[in-house]
Amino acid sequence: MGKGNVTFEEIFKQNERRIHYHIHKLNIRDPHQEFYTEGLVAMWNAYEKYQPDKGPMATYFNYTIRNRMIDLMRKQNREQENAAGYMQKQQTQVDDGNYYRNGAFSYPVMKVAESGAALYDAEFWQEVRGQLTENQWKWVKYFVIEDMSVREIAEQEGVSVEAVKSWGKEVRRKLRGRVDEGELESIGRW
């Protein structure tokens, strides 16, 4: 079937079902007829570029229509991901992004300006440091004061994550009742 003796309208009438077939086969919901339109344009492009010596026209139509629909799906998915990422970034900026999560509850972490007295009270931190080993002080310094994750501390110090966690457990055990707990609670990550 060469394109020289058949018009596109005739080709379209004979092959319109191919578009619907691929929409159904790819499980596409098409309420706005975007994919149908894309399939129609793909069929037109295939009709224009078809070379009879390369193979059957029906095969070329199927290949072109299917791949154009897949490309459109990928494009829409990419746009949705970009929009979702943008919305998440905006929401983080609105919420300030600083929350301490404990189970199903989340509590806002105090900003430095709010907890500045506890964070920058040199006498308080000297008292705390005097009661701890070197590794335990590293945990307090990096985890509590500098807000680093346990994994980041472990990588920086060249130890396992479990070792860093054990430092934190020991710090909590040692300081329970010895230091004014109100000051520690005001820091936020304690």
pLDDT digits (tens, 9 = 90+) for 53-63: 888 988 999 99
- Smallest Cα–Cα separation from 142: which of 161, 162, 159, 156? 156
Which tens digits make up the pLDDT trace of 5-22? Answer: 778 888 888 888 999 999
Q: What is the pTM of this model?
A: 0.46
DSSP structure class, residue 111? P
CA pair distance 20, 28, nearest whole angstrom: 10
108 CB-near residues (< 8 Å, 6+ apart): 96, 98, 99, 100
Poorest-pLDDT segment among 63-67, 81-85, 102-106, 155-159: 102-106
99-187 CATH: 1.10.10.10
Which tens digits make up the pLDDT trace of 119-146? Answer: 567 787 788 888 888 988 888 888 888 8
DSSP structure class, residue 107? E
Locate the domains of the chain by residue range: 3-94, 99-187
CA pair distance 156, 152, nearest whole angstrom: 6
Whole-number percent of the chain with pLDDT over 70: 75
Q: Which amino acid appears at position 61 of this protein?
A: F
pLDDT (0 to 100) of residue 143: 87
Q: Given CA atoms 75, 81, 87, 89 in this order, what sign does their dihedral have?
A: negative
